[in-house]
Structure 1
Amino acid sequence: MTETKTSTRFAFVMITSLFFLWGFVHNLDPILIPHLKRAFSLSTLQASLVDSAVFIAYFVMALPAGLIMKKYGYKTGIIVGLLFFAIGSYLFIPSANTQSYGFFLFALFVIACGLTILETAANPFASLLGDPKTAVQRLNLAQSFNGLAATIAPIIGAKIILTEGVPQAILQSMEPQAKAVALATEASSVKLPYFILGSIILIVAIIFWFTKLPKIKEDSSSGVSIFSALKHKHLRWAIASQFFYVGAQVCVFSFFILYATKVAGISELTAASYAGFGVGMAFMFGRFFGTFFMKYISPVKLLCIYAAICAVLSIAAMFVTGMAAIFIIIGTAFFMSVMFPTIFSLGIKDLGADTKFGSSLIIMSIVGGAILPPLFGFISDEFNNIQFGYIVPFICFLVILCFGLFGHKVQPSDDSLLKPNF
């Protein structure tokens, strides 16, 4: 790269702001789930469709996002992603006005299409923007601001969206028409926050339009298709690991308020505070501390240690009750914090010209967030016990442990000149 250090640093700051923004909207989902569950009288499984609507977009849009990046570059991809993000946010207004759960899910899908493009662009851009030796640390640093959003979003969202509303006992005794009006009033509380969010995203898109981003030099001597990228064994492992990691993270975050109210007997608003000051803050500090620890412990070893701890905590979450259960989930958030950026960086390591498609495939695997939470919800409904759903994150963390132990290793093949990395 020939750009000055100043322009590189500014580019990194701008890219890091994207991590905060998509982290913020993602961490409003745990607020939306209990809110929409109540407003539309949904089961846990039905409420989990909020996550499905979001994360199915990663499967649908990841490859188109890679093609956009391949043809037009990272900057264009970022601007397109921000526009989808803003449009989806504005769609919350007609969703609330029409009182349609399906419309809400569509709005979330449109937002997630934008997030897919942003993550496909921003993750490799942050990883490649500097010394390759510190790529994992750099991506973890950028992702730390995603953790900051995880702290702030539930607190702000709870105050605006999770209104106390009419008590459930009174709601059940109301006439159908009066009940519909009361629930419509509650559902409309999402309009203002998402309108503000959409407006902020538009402003950020305009700033990116006028910002000159450094050009990333990538090897173009080989690899021109998705099939070429899949020849890399460590990338295939990263795709599988990211599928299970995102599934685990969404289960832990999205069901936290439902979990906390059932297991600890606290109110939704109190649970939302624990979601922000507890789970979100633990996730944020986990990434900052993880970035620091990587100066002394290799990212792979740290990933293995953290995955093993999370597996144990998932088992504990199935049986422990009271406030202790809440602190177990907070601990899980801390230790899973470094997993996404570490898996991502290790997955695209030494891909050369296959980096953009490799990035798309790893982002595509985020569809785990659409598939595994409904499984969590099904198990919870089937046994009438939300704690039993934690068998899903437990299995996920075991897969991540396997990736850290042996799946991450770069191996040469007939179609690449990669060097082993043991």
Structure 2
Amino acid sequence: MQAHVDTQNHGKSLTVLTSLFFMWGLITSLNDILIPHLKGVFALSYVQAALIQFSFFTAYFIVSLPAGRLVQALGYQRGIVVGLSIAGAGCLLFYPAAATLSYAAFLGALFVLAAGITILQVAANPYVTRLGPARTASSRLNLTQAFNSLGTTVAPLLGSLLILGASASAGASAASAVQLPYLGLAAALFIIAAVFARLRLPEVHDKTAAEHGMKSVLRHRHLVLGAIGIFVYVGGEVGIGSFLVSLMEQPDIGGLSQAAAGKLLALYWGGAMVGRFVGSAVMRRVAANKVLACNALLSVLLIALAIVAGGKLAMYSLLAVGLCNSIMFPTIFSLALNGLGRDTGAGSGVLCMAIVGGALLPLLQAGVADHLSLLASFGVPLLCYLFILFYGAAGYKPRQA
């Protein structure tokens, strides 16, 4: 049960929370710039380069359940402050990683950074769904996630300018290109943490403080299927974003320079941003599951077209998938939590654990790219969107196992 919250405070609280969604979108999307950059610096295979996303998203799997307990003990607001502080520390670790020219140190820094982001996700996503009526939870989460997409759109532009511009050089000089951007991110995260520590946000909590075991949570079939949906969605979205720059560099696809391809990647994330603003409005009139199924179907068709057609058509078709991605994560998240009641907090932890799809599926896609071709590897995201189509059509319906 939701505690009473002054509805007049909702707007102010949601406005403040959008800064968090922006920051973790910016940080997550920068990984798509790190992959081609560090691939060149350390002469990596696709699978080795995919360890960037593996290290980042594995943190979601390892940290989500402890983060859920932390947020339950500290409350949403203090949990957010802790998450911001840990993420800031992770950004600081990029400096020594570049100074020592150690790929392993970069992967460690990414894990610490992602651990902080995980705590933010566990706290902020359910907080947004609880700040208002349940019937508009999907619309509300889509609106805040639109600012997450603003961050993911800005990141490739900044990364191309500040990081990929140094790719022409080699070794330590190229690796050092990441130091200043991540020091700036660390400063921003610590400042936001200080601001959040002083804010007065509405308290939202369950009337029962009893902990519920995993068995209780997993009785909800639509939550389990929603967790699979989050797993494949994040894996598909991250896989496309991770390898689009490399694909657009290929002479038979786009023939672009790395920096130019990095800037064009902003269209992929920008489409998601536009779609979330539009989707937030559409889902006030159209059932969220129907919008989800429609977007998943369009994604399947666009990726199939890209694989069959090749060339510049493939490049633009894959970029257009970003628009379809727009409403997927927040919609799956809110549909999966629908009707969970006192299991909502634990359910959020399960869904955040499922974000590990961003670690495993791009690694699978990288293996296909190394052994077949980069274009053929986009068949992995295509299969992901087929499951999301099923979830939007039928799997979302609440039913206890």
Normalized against structure 1, the TM-score is what?
0.91
Maintained 8 Å contact 2:236/2:384: yes
Q: Find the aligned partners of 2:332 and 2:167 in 1 and give their Cα distance.
A: 42
Q: Is 1:400 aligned to 2:382, yes or no?
A: no
Counterpart selection for 1:253 from 218, 241, 253:
241
Structure 2 residue 299 is matched with structure 1 residue 310? yes
Q: Which residue of 2 aligns with 1:64?
A: 66
For 2:172, the equivalent position in structure 1 comes to 184
Structure-1 residue corresponding to 2:109: 107
Tell whether the 8 Å contact from 1:223 to 1:353 is kept in structure 2 after alignment. Answer: no
Question: Deviation digits for residues 218-247 of structure 1, max 9, x if unmatched?
Answer: 352876222211111111111111100000
With 219-228 and 12-21 compared, the bigger mean Cα shift is at 219-228
Shift of 1:6: 4.3
- Please give the alpha-carbon distance, in whole angstroms, between the structure 1 residues aligned to 2:164 and 2:18: 29
State the one-letter code of the partner of 1:102: A
Read off the aligned partner of 1:137 and give its amino acid letter. Answer: S
Which structure 1 residue ranges, 5 or more long, are not aligned? 168-181, 414-422
In structure 2, distance between residues paired with 1:6 and 1:212: 13
Q: Give SS of 1:319's match.
A: helix
Whether contact under 8 Å (2:219, 2:400) holds in the other structure is: no
What whole-Å deviation, never above 9, does each CA across 1:186-245 have from its counterpart, x for those lacking one? 110000000010000000001111112111143528762222111111111111111000
Shift of 1:279: 1.0
Mapping 1:201-280, distance limit 5 Å? 201-220=189-208, 224-262=212-250, 263-276=253-266, 278-280=267-269
The match for 1:160 is 162
How far residue 55 of structure 1 moved from its aligned partner, in angstroms, is 0.4
Q: Using the TM superposition, give the Cα deviation of residue 336 of structure 1 relative to its aligned residue in structure 2, in angstroms.
A: 1.4
Instruction: Spell out, residue by residue over 1:389-419, the C-alpha distance to the aligned partner (whole angstroms, 9 max, x if none).
Output: 1110011011111111211111257xxxxxx
What secondary structure is seen at the aligned counterpart in 2 of 1:163? helix
Task: Provide the rounded CA distance (Å) in 1 between the counterparts of 2:235 and 2:380.
Answer: 8
* 1:322/1:224 CA distance change after superposition, 3 Å: same
- Structure 1 position 341 matched with structure 2 position 330: yes
- Corresponding residue for residue 290 of structure 2: 301
1:154 & 1:102 partners in 2: Cα distance?
Answer: 23
- CA change 1:346–1:258 in 2 (3 A) is same
Which letter maps to 1:230?
L
Amino acid aligned to 2:355: I
C-alpha distance after superposition, 1:367-395 (max 9, x if no partner): 00000001101101101x20011110011
Q: When the two structures are aligned, how many residues end up with a matched partner?
A: 397
Q: Secondary structure at the match of 1:318?
A: helix
- Give the match for residue 38 of structure 2: 36
Could you give the per-residue CA deviations for residues 63-88 of structure 1, whole angstroms, max 9, x where no partner exists? Answer: 00111122221112111111110000
User: Distance between the aligned counterparts of 1:121 and 1:93, measured in 2?
Assistant: 28
Aligned equivalent of 1:93: 95
Report what 1:373 is aligned to.
Answer: 362
> What is the alpha-carbon distance in structure 2 between the residues aligned to residue 308 and residue 107 of structure 1?
37
**Please, which of 18, 21, 24 is the counterpart of residue 19 of structure 1?**
21
Distance 2:297 2:207 in 1: 36
Deviations for 1:247-295, whole angstroms, at most 9, x for unmatched residues?
A: 001011111101111221111111111111x112111101111112112
Give the CA deviation at 1:322: 2.7
Instruction: Tell me the TM-score normalized by structure 2.
Output: 0.96
CA distance in structure 2 between the partners assigned to 1:2 and 1:354 by the alignment: 18
Whether the aligned pair in 2 keeps the contact of 1:252 and 1:329 (CA below 8 Å) is yes
Q: What is the alpha-carbon distance in structure 2 between the residues aligned to residue 220 and residue 352 of structure 1?
A: 10
Q: Tell me the SS of whatever aligns to 1:50.
A: helix
- Separation in 2, partners of 1:400, 1:234: 12
* Partner SS for 1:295: coil
The match for 2:378 is 390
Larger radius of gyration: 1
- 1:333-388 deviations in Å (ceiling 9; x for gaps): 101111100000001111111111100000000000000001101101101x2001
Work out the CA distance in 2 between the residues paired with 1:83 and 1:68: 14
**Counterpart residue type for residue 258 of structure 1:** S
Structure 1 residue 363 corresponds to structure 2 residue 352: yes
Q: Which residue of 2 aligns with 1:177?
A: none
1:131-159: CA deviation from partner (whole Å, max 9, x where unpaired)? 11100000000000111112111001110
Alpha-carbon offset, residue 35 of structure 1: 0.4
Alignment correspondent of 2:84: 82
- Which runs of 4 or more aligned residues in structure 1 lie more than 4 Å from their structure 2 counterparts after TM superposition? none
Matched to 2:59, the amino acid is A
Does the 8 Å CA contact 1:220/1:352 hold for their aligned counterparts?
A: no
1:5, CA displacement in angstroms? 4.0
Q: 1:419 maps to what in 2? A: none
**CA–CA separation in structure 2 for the residues paired with 1:370 and 1:356:** 23
| Percent of paired sites with the same residue | 39
Letter in 2 for 1:404: G
Structure 2, unmatched stretches of 5+, are: none
When residues 231 and 3 of structure 1 are mapped into structure 2, their CA distance, relative to the original with a 3 A threshold, is closer
